[in-house]
């Protein structure tokens, strides 16, 4: 049976009426949920640690910012919007001591709950509202009257209102405009990690860099290679997003279609699928999570090096030059926000 998809007609903000919603962290997801909810008419406050870089940004957006513990005390629903590996510290120090019966803890990803990096008291709701897209796009689409689809999941339903609250939150951030699907913390965590490693981020970044390198190493100009392997990828993916892979094929040439169906499966062949299955296994067994937590606890050395190497890849310099010729490509202020985690 096809999964039930909740849309605008199934949702209401009523379960959040009269409630205070605290968003802890004002990064990618935090800023998007907070601003979308505020504009939907929900009472939102922000929780941050003293000295957080995000304080000024949130205040400039007209939001009231408190120290995390204070925000948790004031709130009925608490969205933990800090990086997954920072959640245990923030949770044990500032959230858990202030969680009382009747409150709802909300996540956008199940890592901390599924891999048990934190333990939550039994008398609070634990729910998830996970948009299937980056926070900055969740915000952008909401302001354009659109909405990124979202998942909801219930891990603890202490007051029997958990699902209503999750749906109301998903509605408030614009999720029901795109469609909301109910899942479990386990399913969301495992599929989300799989997607970002193999297809969305990891697989695509490596595919683009490999294609660029092959053309440049064969003597073609980096500009040609950039247009072919990165710029046009978005245009093709936009078509897939609008009308599926078959719909994309409607718009490409007959020769491109032949190359697609004949050569594509030789590039992404059975061995790639085998390695995807290995990646999935490492996620399911907890091996990936264990290694990632270890990396964050030992100073992010490998992580920072790999990110820096990525920034130095020649495709970045070529791309920056070519994108500057296309003023309609939205310029994002990401300077100083890249790499170097601690």
Ligand X SMILES: NC(=O)C1=CN([C@@H]2O[C@H](COP(=O)(O)OP(=O)(O)OC[C@H]3O[C@@H](n4cnc5c(N)ncnc54)[C@H](OP(=O)(O)O)[C@@H]3O)[C@@H](O)[C@H]2O)C=CC1
Ligand Y SMILES: CC(=O)[C@](C)(O)C(=O)O
Binding region: 26-29, 52, 54, 135, 192, 196, 228, 232, 253
Can you tell me which of 43, 108, 125, 318 binds ligand X, judged by CB under 6 A?
A: 108
Give the DSSP letter of residue 91: I
Which of the choices ligand Y, ligand X, none does residue 95 contact, using the CB cut-off of 5 to 8 A by kind?
Answer: none
Closest CA relative to residue 71, chosen from 119, 117, 105, 29: 105
Binding site residue list for substrate: 253
Sheet holding 104-107, edge to edge: 5-6, 180-183, 150-156, 125-131, 104-107, 77-80, 20-24, 43-48, 64-67
* SS3 call for 271: helix
31, 33, 109, 114: the active-site residue: 109
| Residue 56 Cβ vs ligand Y, minimum distance, rounded to whole Å | 24
Can you tell me which of 15, 21, 22, 29 binds ligand X, judged by CB under 6 A?
A: 29
Per CB under 6 A, which region of 32-40, 43-51, 193-201, 292-300 contacts ligand Y? Answer: 193-201
Can you tell me which of 13, 200, 207, 233 binds ligand Y, judged by CB under 6 A?
A: 200
Residue 51: in which H helix or E strand, if any? none
Window 186-215: residues binding ligand X (CB under 6 A): none
| Residue 137 Cβ vs ligand X, minimum distance, rounded to whole Å | 8
Residues 6+ positions from 162 with CB-CB distance below 8 Å: 104, 125, 126, 127, 154, 156
Which of the choices ligand X, ligand Y, none does residue 236 contact, using the CB cut-off of 5 to 8 A by kind?
Answer: none
C-beta closer to ligand X: residue 6 or 107: 107
Window 287-316: residues binding ligand Y (CB under 6 A): none
Can you tell me which of 66, 67, 70, 134 binds ligand X, judged by CB under 6 A?
A: 134
Give the DSSP letter of residue 230: I
End-to-end CA distance of the chain: 46
Which of the choices ligand Y, ligand X, none does residue 54 contact, using the CB cut-off of 5 to 8 A by kind?
Answer: ligand X
Residue 270: in which H helix or E strand, if any? helix 270-285
Residue 282: in which H helix or E strand, if any? helix 270-285
Strand 77-80 and strand 20-24: the pairing is parallel
Window 110-149: residues binding ligand Y (CB under 6 A): 133-134
Please give the Cα distance from 64 to 66 (Å, whole number). Answer: 7
Using CB under 6 A, count the residues that bind ligand X: 25
DSSP annotation string for 191-220: HHHHHIIIIITHHHHHHHHHHHHHHHHTT-
C-beta closer to ligand X: residue 110 or 212: 110
| Side-chain half-sphere exposure of 339, counting CA atoms within 13 A | 12
| Residue 262 Cβ vs ligand X, minimum distance, rounded to whole Å | 36
Binding site residue list for NADP(+): 26-29, 52, 54, 135
Binding mask 48-77 toward ligand X (x if CB under 6 A, else -) reads xx--xxx-------------x---------
**Cβ-contact 151, 183 below 8 angstroms:** yes
Whether 231 is catalytic = no
Per CB under 6 A, which region of 8-16, 69-77, 130-138, 259-267 contacts ligand X? Answer: 130-138
Which of the choices ligand Y, ligand X, none does residue 200 contact, using the CB cut-off of 5 to 8 A by kind?
Answer: ligand Y
Alpha helices in 106-231 (DSSP H): 111-114, 135-143, 162-172, 175-178, 185-195, 202-217, 222-226
| Residue 32 Cβ vs ligand X, minimum distance, rounded to whole Å | 8
| 192 scored as a contact of ligand Y (CB under 6 A) | yes
Tell how far CA 158 is from the center of its chain: 27
Active site residues: 109
Q: Which residues make up the interface to ligand X (CB under 6 A)?
A: 24-30, 48-49, 52-54, 68, 81-84, 86, 90, 107-109, 130, 134-135
């Amino acid at each position: 049976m096809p999964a039930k998809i909740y849309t605008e007609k199934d949702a209401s903000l009523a379960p959040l009426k009269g409630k205070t919603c605290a968003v802890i962290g004002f990064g990618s997801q935090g800023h998007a949920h907070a601003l979308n909810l505020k504009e939907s008419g929900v009472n939102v406050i922000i929780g941050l640690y003293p000295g957080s870089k995000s304080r000024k940004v949130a205040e400039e957006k007209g939001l009231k910012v408190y120290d995390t513990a204070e925000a948790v005390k004031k709130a009925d629903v608490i969205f933990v919007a800090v990086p997954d590996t920072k959640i245990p510290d923030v949770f044990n120090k500032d959230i858990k001591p202030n969680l009382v019966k009747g409150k709802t803890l909300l996540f956008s990803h199940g890592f901390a709950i599924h891999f048990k990096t934190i333990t939550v008291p039994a008398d609070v709701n634990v729910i998830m509202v996970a948009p299937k897209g980056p926070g900055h796009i969740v915000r952008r689409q909401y302001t354009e009257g659109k909405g990124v689809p979202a998942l909801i999941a219930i891990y603890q339903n202490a007051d029997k209102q958990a699902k209503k609250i999750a749906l109301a939150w998903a509605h408030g951030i614009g999720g029901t405009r795109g469609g909301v699907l109910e899942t479990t913390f386990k399913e969301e965590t495992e599929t989300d990690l799989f997607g970002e490693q193999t297809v969305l981020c990891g697989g695509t970044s490596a595919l683009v860099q490999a294609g660029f390198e092959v053309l440049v190493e064969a003597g073609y100009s980096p500009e040609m290679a950039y247009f072919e392997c990165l710029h046009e990828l978005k245009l093709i993916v936009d078509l897939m997003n609008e009308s599926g892979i078959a719909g994309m094929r409607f718009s490409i040439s007959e020769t491109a279609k032949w190359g697609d169906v004949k050569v594509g499966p030789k590039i992404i062949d059975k061995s790639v699928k085998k390695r995807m299955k290995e990646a999935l296994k490492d996620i399911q067994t907890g091996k990936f999570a264990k290694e990632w937590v270890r990396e964050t606890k030992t100073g992010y050395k490998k992580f920072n090096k790999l990110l820096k190497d990525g920034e130095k890849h020649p495709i970045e310099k070529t791309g920056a030059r070519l994108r500057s010729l296309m003023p309609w490509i939205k310029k994002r202020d990401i300077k100083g926000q890249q790499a170097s985690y601690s």
